Structures are given as C-alpha cells and as structure tokens.
Amino acid sequence: MSLHGKRKEIYKYEAPWTVYAMNWTVRPDKRFRLALGSFVEEYNNKVQIVGLEEESSEFVCRNTFDHPYPTTKIIWIPDTKGAYPDLLATSGDYLRIWRVSDTETRLECLLNNNKNSDFCAPLTSFDWNEVDPNLLGTSSIDTTCTIWGLETGQVLGRVNLVSGHVKTQLIAHDKEVYDISFSRAGGGRDMFASVGADGSVRMFDLRHLEHSTIIYEDPQHHPLLRLCWNKQDPNYLATMAMDSMEVVILDVRVPCTPVAKLSNHRACVNGVAWAPHSSCHICTAADDHQALIWDIQQMPRAIEDPILAYTAEGEINNVQWASTQPDWIAICYNNCLEILRV
C-alpha cells in the first residue's frame, strides 16, 4: 500500500468506545492494520481489527469480537515473514490467542496457569518474543511472571491447531507485577525484565532463573507501570512511575542511576515507545494531550526538549511505533485512534 502519493500526514479512526490497548500488525501483506481494545468498566468488552483502505484513505473496521474485561495489552504475532498463522494475543483475566481471518476472529486457546479454577489473578501485561514466536511472557498482580511455550502445531487437514503450556513461573517481585518485556540482548530469546508495584526494574535470564538483577529502584518506591526496551541497543530501557510526568531512561551497564530523564510533560505519562529503526529516538505520550519525540543521543548530558510535539484532542492513553513502518506512530485518546507520519 503506497500512501506516499497522497502524502496525508494523519489518519483517524473513531471507535464506538474508549480505546486503550492497541498494536500494529507486522505482517508484510497487512501494513496498515491495527487491533484496538475497548476500555469499558464492565465484563463485556470488545476488540476491533481495523485497516486503512487505500482507495478511500479511511480506516475501516474489518471485524469485531467480544472480549471478557478490557484488554490490558494486545500484540500481533511478531512474524514479519508471514510464516506462522495470523495470530493475535490479548491479556486480561487470562492470556488468549486468537486466529484472524478476513471474515472472523476465533479463539484458538486460553492460557490459564492457575490450578485453582475458581480464582484468577488478572494479567497486567505480556510480551511476545520476537526472536522465538513460540515464547510469550505474562505479568500478573499475583507477583509472578509466567513464560509460556506456544505450539502452532501440525496442519491437520486445513486446521492448524494452536496450544500452549507453562514453561516456567517465577515470583518476580514483592508486590504486583505491572509489565514484562523481552530484551534483545544475548540473542534476544532468554533475557527479560519486569517492573511492578515495589518500584523496581528486575532483569531475568531464562537459563538462570535462580537469581534476578535489580537494575533500578524508584527513589520514592513509587510503583513502576511500564517498561520498554530500546529496539536497537539492548543496553537501554525506559520506565515510568505511577502518576509521574517524566520518563526515566536506564542503562543496564550502570544500574540504579538513570542516564536521562524526559520531563517536559505537564501531566501523567501513559505510554512510551522506542523508534524501531533508531537507537536514539523515543516517543512519550501523556494526559497533557501531547505525544513528544525525543532525540537522546546527547546522553548522559541532560535532554532538555523534544524534537517533535503533537497535540491530540484528548488525554493520550497509549502510543505504538510501527516496527515495520518506522515513519508511522499510532496514538489513542478517548474513542479515537490516530496514526501520524513522523
């Protein structure tokens, strides 16, 4: 799809509900396709799959499916070659894997690692390993992280069965775990980090799970909500504390001391996304309606101002930088999704 002929800089989609979770597909044949999750304070929520129509330059909803509780995160399978089935994962009460076709989306498997079926500890987030798409990691309010193995099975007739099993579960923090993310360090398969209500960033290695490394602790022990690895340089990661107006950049080689603080927002930061193609660009988004892009190559000198600022029509809940199309960023606010050319 070539949008460059029209050179439109912003495309907007209005959903029938508040949008919270969202993610770009990475499949080469589905470039301007995103999944959006509703945030409705009820049991019944929705996920929509939307795509940009080349002819009309408008977003169109391709299909909608029901989801129990709001999705805390949505990720398309990190399959840039289109070799796996077209899968989508969502977290909420459980981790669910969905199979997407042009006409419908159906549940392939529900992954629940709680042996006591009467109770489930909600999943705050998850990550899908980009080097090995058979690995997913979930974080939960029950202090644990779970690493799942996914089997995308043999093709039986025309049905490709998907199932999953727990590879390992570990107590990652002293309190709730709010985010988990695989690192690209050391081959990109075995290292991951998590953040949580105890205010720490902890790093783990699947090959040596008996110990973890604390790489940062919030000075006031405020809960840390998000964790985002630099896509090009696995030494750097970004995190942010609850109700904080700044994003902290860490270097794992220099534990416990931030190498930079990005603090131009005038309200709580809600989202952060590193550029897929550059180790020194990062986008932050907040309740002040602003999405800011920063160039951090001056580190460790202080980063004073962003290089680009976009003001939305509402508090920005989430930001996602398209990994296969690095000149597009998606933001969501209220019931709107916007994609911006940067």
DSSP characters for 95-152?
EEEEEE-SS-EEEEEEE---S-TT--PPEEEEEE-SS-TTEEEEEETTSEEEEEEEE-
pLDDT at 262: 95
pLDDT at 160: 56
- The CA-based angle 80-82-84, given to 5 degrees, is 110
pLDDT at 115: 63
Give the SS3 label for residue 186: helix
From CA 174, how far away is CA 197, in angstroms rounded?
Answer: 8
**Domain range list for the chain:** 10-258
pLDDT at 52: 93
From CA 100, how far away is CA 124, in angstroms rounded?
Answer: 23
In this structure, what is the dihedral angle of CA atoms 276, 282, 283, 284, given to the nearest 10 degrees? 140
Each residue's pLDDT expressed in tens, for the chain with a length of 342 residues: 344 444 579 999 999 999 999 999 999 889 899 999 999 998 999 999 999 998 888 999 999 999 999 999 999 999 998 888 899 999 999 999 999 988 889 999 998 877 665 667 899 999 999 999 999 999 999 999 999 998 875 444 445 567 788 888 888 888 999 999 999 998 889 999 999 999 999 999 999 988 899 999 999 999 999 999 999 999 999 999 999 999 999 999 999 899 999 999 999 999 999 999 999 999 999 999 999 999 999 888 888 889 999 999 999 999 999 999 999 999 999 999 999 998
Query: Are the beta carbons of 200 and 216 closer than 8 angstroms?
Result: yes
Write down the pTM of the prediction: 0.92
| Tokens linked to 167 | 């590879």
CATH architecture of 10-258: 7 Propeller (2.130)
Q: Count CB neighbours of 196 within 10 A.
A: 27
First to last CA, the chain: 18
